[in-house]
A and B are shown apart, each in its own frame.
Chain A
Amino acid sequence: METTNVKVKQFLSKFFRKHELQDDEDIFSLGFVNSLFAMQLVMFLEKEFGIKVDNKDLDMSNFKSINAICELVDRKAS
């Protein structure tokens, strides 16, 4: 969980350079991401953690915060 959190945070920091993201902060409400970001994020997760994100996982609630993303990764990896 710890390393997942660090890796996800590191990836997101490339997009949120001016903002220190909190673990439970709603990414989409910040307003500086778009659909291209979502695609990048899914690709990063699939590559980095060797998981396959299905269509049914493509729900905003799975990606809305660092915590939500880490939960998705853990669920998919187990």
Chain B
Amino acid sequence: MDKFAFIFPGQGTQFTQMGKSFYEQYPIAKQTFEEASDVSGMDVADLCFNGSVSSINEFNNMQLAILTTELAIFRSYMDDYGVYPQFAIGHSIGEYAALVSAGAITFADAIQIMEKRGDLINDILQKDMGHMTIVEKTNHEMIENSIQEANAQGSVFIACFNSNSQYAISGLHDKLDLVEQRLLDKEAVVSPLFSSPPIHSPIMNEACMEYLEFLEDIEFHPFQFPIISNYTGAPLSDPKKIAKSLTYHLTHPVLFASSMDVLHRYGVTSTIEMSPKLLLSEFIKENVPSMKTYCYGLFQDKQRLDQVVSNDTNFEKDMPNFAGRCLSILVSTENNNDNQEQYKQVIQIYEHIKEKYNTASQEGHRYADELQSEMLNKLIQALQIKKLEPAQIRECVKRLLDETNSFYRFANVLQAL
């Protein structure tokens, strides 16, 4: 069976009308856009589908549009298959989508974090100190040499290691212009992004303290699967490390290229880009030619993936269903209740859900809303009898709702815990 990693691209993903087919086809995608609008106070569907090129490229809008669209596509995938990957990795802004997909940040919190990030970055943008430039047909050495020749150490930095031949560099305008000139002389292809702030470089230092303080007030959750962080290029699965990691993310380069090698070393054989268009798959192939790449936003890729999955019985076995997930939570949580009489009720609840599971297994595990609601209530009751901490029960339920895409349906249940 293939081992998968999910890829969430960043800047460059945005285009008008992105995500529209998912919005129209999947109720969960539509609900995702609606939640984004509720939390941000901006009509995100209107921004993505009818906005001008300028408005969707405005920094805060772009972050919001990309985060929302990628989550809508990821959740559509969860609706179709629901099998979690080995890892997720996001590029720059995409790291936030990766963290939401892994359950470590709620979507609503991620929107608020992005807003804060956007505001801080806009403050720096207002000062018009520098910009970011994409460099192609180049290599690490050529860039370092060009920075030295232009005497731009300390003002121009590599911001993204995208592949062996594509990089992004951030820097102060004047010095960056000089470096660009040197790179052009060496036959590299240079595309300055005039409206893009010099992110992933020490120029962002002044935003760090305020951002870290903001992040430290956010509640982070256990990871359902690790992400490969841009800052370290290594797996991250400790919620306590998220605040620092996202802060350093502003001032340190995106280590995307080497992350592909990490995926390879961990045995990942396929990647799925959770984006409306193909963006990073080419880089992935450049770094690891044997990797099979798919983009969930492309119809033909989705079909290709469907073939792979339908030929793989192991994959089908892993597809989550409501009753199965309730059962696995029941067996994988400890019991802190010594009272045997009370514990018998837990066993009864287990048997009850097991029965529902067996009945539904004949019909592809379809569960009516009322049945799901009943099983969820019974599960919570059993966890309470087991005397789990309230916070633990909340995480169990959150996990169930995340895995089964039912967080909107049972939002009130989770809220009440």
Q: A34-B136, A36-B134 are in contact. Are A42 and B191 (CB under 8 A)?
A: no
Interface string of A49-77 (1 = CB under 8 A from B): 00011010010000000000000000000
**A1 located at the interface, meaning its Cβ lies under 8 Å from any Cβ of chain B in the complex:** no
| Given A17-B184, A18-B184, A46-B53, residue A55 in contact with residue B17 (CB < 8 A) | yes
The answer to whether A40 and B193 touch (CB under 8 A), given A46-B52, A47-B54, is yes
Q: Tell me, yes or no, whether B195 is within 8 Å of chain A by CB.
A: yes
The digit string for B363-403, where 1 denotes a CB below 8 A from any CB of A, is 00000000000000000000000000000000000000000
Which B residues lie within 8 Å of A43 (CB)?
Answer: 53-54, 57, 195
Shortest C-beta distance, A54 to chain B (Å), equals 8
Interface string of B298-333 (1 = CB under 8 A from A): 000000000000000000000000000000000000
- Which residues from chain B contact A52 at a C-beta distance below 8 Å? 52, 54
Q: Does B12 sit within 8 A of A, measured CB to CB?
A: yes
- Contact A40 B194, beta carbon cutoff 8 Å: yes
Whether B181 contacts A17 by the Cβ 8 Å rule is yes
State the Cβ distance, A28 to closest chain B Cβ, in Å: 14
Provide the main secondary structure of the chain B interface. mixed
Q: A-facing mask of B67-101, CB < 8 A → 1, else 0? A: 00000000000000000000000000000000000
CA distance A39 to B57 in the complex (A): 9
Query: B57 — nearest CB in chain A belongs to which residue?
Result: A43
In the complex, how many angstroms separate the beta carbon of A58 from the nearest chain B beta carbon? 8
Separation of A28 and B193 alpha carbons in the complex (Å): 18
B12 — which chain A residues lie within 8 A by C-beta? 35-36
Tally chain B residues at the interface, Cβ within 8 Å: 19
Whether B189 and A14, one on each chain, are in contact in the complex, defined by CB atoms closer than 8 angstroms, is no
Docked complex Cα distance between A47 and B47 (Å): 17
Query: Contact flags (1/0) for B41-62 with A, using CB distance below 8 Å?
Result: 0000000000011100100000
Any chain A CB within 8 A of the CB of B16?
A: yes
Shortest distance from the beta carbon of A20 to any chain B beta carbon, whole Å: 14
Chain A residues whose CB sits within 8 angstroms of the CB of B53 once the complex forms: 39, 42-43, 46, 53, 58
Q: Are B181 and A32 in contact (CB under 8 A)?
A: no
User: Which of B16, B136, B193 is within 8 Å of A55, CB to CB?
Assistant: B16
The digit string for A19-36, where 1 denotes a CB below 8 A from any CB of B, is: 000000000000011111
Chain A residues lying within 8 Å of B184, measured Cβ to Cβ, are: 17-18
Closest residue of chain B to A31, judged by CB?
B189
Q: How far, in whole Å, are A47 and B55 apart by their CA atoms in the complex? A: 10
**How many A residues face the partner with a CB closer than 8 A?**
21
Q: Which B residues are CB-close (under 8 A) to A33? A: 191
Chain B residue at minimum C-beta to C-beta distance from A47: B54
Is B222 in the interface zone, CB < 8 Å from A?
no
Q: Give the complex CA separation of A20 and B48 in angstroms.
A: 37
- Assembly CA distance A36 to B136 (angstroms): 12
**Contact flags B111-139 to A (C-beta < 8 A → 1, else 0):** 00000000000000000000000101000
Per-residue CB proximity of B145-180 to A under 8 Å, as 1/0? 000000000000000000000000000000000001
A35→B53 CA distance, assembly (Å): 13
CB neighbours (8 Å) of B195 from chain A are 40, 43
Residues of A within 8 A of B190 (CB): 15
Residues of A within 8 Å of B235, CB to CB, are none
Which residue of B53, B136, B194 has the most chain A CB atoms within 10 A of its CB atom? B53
- How distant is B174 from chain A, measured CB to nearest CB, in Å? 14
Q: From A35, A42, A43, name the one whose CB has the most chain B CB atoms within 10 angstroms.
A: A43
CB of B191 within 8 A of CB of A15, answer: yes
Q: Convert B6-36 into 0s and 1s, putting 1 for each residue whose CB lies closer than 8 angstroms to a CB of A.
A: 0000001000110000000000000000000
Q: Whose C-beta in chain B lies nearest to the C-beta of A32?
A: B189
For the complex of A and B, list the 5 residue pairs with the smallest distance between their C-beta atoms, beginning with the closest: A46-B54, A42-B53, A36-B191, A52-B52, A43-B54
Binding site for B on A (CB under 8 A): 14-15, 17-18, 32-37, 39-40, 42-44, 46-47, 52-53, 55, 58
B residues sitting closer than 8 Å to A (CB atoms) are 12, 16-17, 52-54, 57, 134, 136, 180-181, 184, 189-195
The 22 sampled A-B contact pairs (Cβ below 8 Å) are A14-B194, A15-B190, A17-B180, A17-B181, A17-B184, A32-B189, A34-B189, A34-B191, A36-B191, A39-B53, A40-B191, A40-B192, A40-B194, A42-B53, A42-B54, A43-B57, A43-B195, A44-B194, A46-B52, A46-B53, A46-B54, A55-B16
Given contacts A14-B194, A18-B184, 9 further A-B contacts (CB under 8 A): A15-B192, A34-B189, A37-B191, A40-B191, A43-B54, A43-B195, A52-B52, A53-B53, A55-B16
